[in-house]
Amino acid sequence: MRTLNIIRILECYDIPQLFVAEDSVGTRYLCLHYEIDDAGDLKYIAIQVSPNKLNDFIKGHIDLRSMLLNVEQDGSVFIATYDGENITAEDYRGEIESKMLPQSGYYFDDTLGEDEEMIARAITNNKPIIRLAFETPDNSHDIDSRCLSAALLSFQSLIDSSFKKLFKTDESSASALRVSAFMPASFDVEFLANENLDMFGQSRLGETFENINKLFSDENDEVVETLRHLKGFAANNYRRFLDVLLNYGVSLKYKWVFSTLESEVHQNRISSSRLRDLQAIINANSDLGTEEQSIEGIFTAASTDTGKWTFLPVTGKEIRGDCEDKTMLKGITLTEQPYTIACEVIQTVNDTTLKEKSKYYLKSISPRQ
Q: Where in the chain is the domain with CATH 2.40.50.140?
A: 291-367
pLDDT at 186: 64
Residue 365 identity (one-letter amino acid): I
Please report the beta strands in the chain, taking only residues with DSSP state E, as ranges in sequence order. 2-13, 15-22, 28-36, 42-49, 77-82, 87-91, 129-135, 177-183, 187-193, 251-257, 266-270, 291-302, 309-313, 319-322, 338-349, 356-367
Length of the chain: 369
Quick check: helix, strand or coil at residue 90?
strand
Cβ pair 88, 80 in contact under 8 A: yes
Task: Please report, as a single letter, which amino acid is at residue 330.
Answer: K
What does the pLDDT read at residue 285?
A: 79
Of 253, 257, 255, the residue nearest 127 (C-alpha): 257
Report the candidate in 111, 152, 177 with the shortest Cα–Cα distance to residue 240.
152
**Bridge partners, 299 (sequence order):** 311
- Element (DSSP H or E) covering residue 227: helix 220-230
Sign of the CA dihedral with 174 first, then 165, 146, and 270 last: positive
- What lies within 8 Å, CB to CB, of 23 at 6+ separation is 2, 3, 4, 5, 29, 89
Beta-carbon contacts of residue 306 (< 8 Å; ≥ 6 apart): 326
Which stretches of 92-237 are assigned E, i.e. beta strand? 129-135, 177-183, 187-193
Residue by residue, pLDDT tens for the chain (369 residues) are 899 999 888 888 888 899 999 999 989 999 999 999 999 999 999 999 998 888 888 878 889 999 999 998 888 999 999 998 899 999 998 888 888 999 888 888 766 567 777 888 888 888 889 999 898 877 667 788 889 999 999 999 999 999 998 998 877 788 999 998 887 656 889 899 888 888 777 889 888 999 999 999 999 999 999 998 988 889 989 999 999 999 999 999 999 988 767 678 888 999 999 999 999 999 887 777 778 889 999 999 999 999 999 999 998 899 999 999 999 999 899 999 999 999 988 877 665 555 677 889 999 999 997
Looking at residue 188, its pLDDT comes to: 85
d(CA 140, CA 185): 7
Tell the CATH topology of 291-367.
OB fold (Dihydrolipoamide Acetyltransferase, E2P) (2.40.50)
Q: Judge contact between 186 and 253, C-beta under 8 A.
A: yes
Q: Please, is 128 exposed, middle or buried when counting C-beta atoms within 10 Å of its C-beta (0-12, 13-18, 19+)?
A: buried
Question: What CA–CA distance (Å, rounded) separates 93 from 103?
Answer: 22
Count of C-beta atoms within a 10 Å radius of residue 79: 17
Q: Please, are residues 128 and 193 in contact by the beta-carbon 8 Å criterion?
A: yes
